[in-house]
Amino acid sequence: MSTSGSHYKAVAVGVDGTVTIPGSRVGGFIAATAGSIQFTIRQENVPDVVLPAVPLSAGQEWDIEFFAGTTGRSVLTASGGCSGVLFYS
């Protein structure tokens, strides 16, 4: 990850897996296998926000930082054979 000065934890995402984001910030994703990922941001008392799916190639790093909410209920869904590592804080 090219986010200097930031400290992220990592969680593995299995092939076509769904992972609840344990923290409040997403720092990026590295794809082990090709496919796509999609984030659903879930907050209390507001509608879910579903971000458009992002296609990734095997080995591709998606370097993005965004606020994923404070509830710990937001999720990343991998599809089309995608797997990899999600970075969060």
Tell me what pLDDT residue 5 has.
Answer: 52
* Domain assignment of residue 1, yes or no: no
Tell me what pLDDT residue 15 has.
Answer: 98
Supply the pTM of this predicted model. Answer: 0.87
CATH number at residue 46: 2.60.120
* Domain assignment of residue 61, yes or no: yes
Specify whether the CB–CB gap between 24 and 65 falls below 8 A: no
Token pair belonging to 66: 């965004």
Tell me what pLDDT residue 85 has.
Answer: 97
Token pair belonging to 75: 């999720």
* Domain assignment of residue 3, yes or no: no
Range of the structural domain that residue 48 is part of? 9-88
Q: What are phi and psi of 36, to 5 degrees?
A: -140, 160
Which residues lie closer than 8 Å to 20 by C-beta, 6 or more apart?
A: 72, 73, 74, 75
The 10 Å Cβ neighbour count of residue 11 is: 15
Per-residue pLDDT of the chain (89 residues; tens, 9 = 90+): 554 456 899 999 999 999 999 889 999 999 999 999 999 998 888 888 999 999 999 999 999 889 888 778 899 999 999 999 999 99
* Domain assignment of residue 25, yes or no: yes
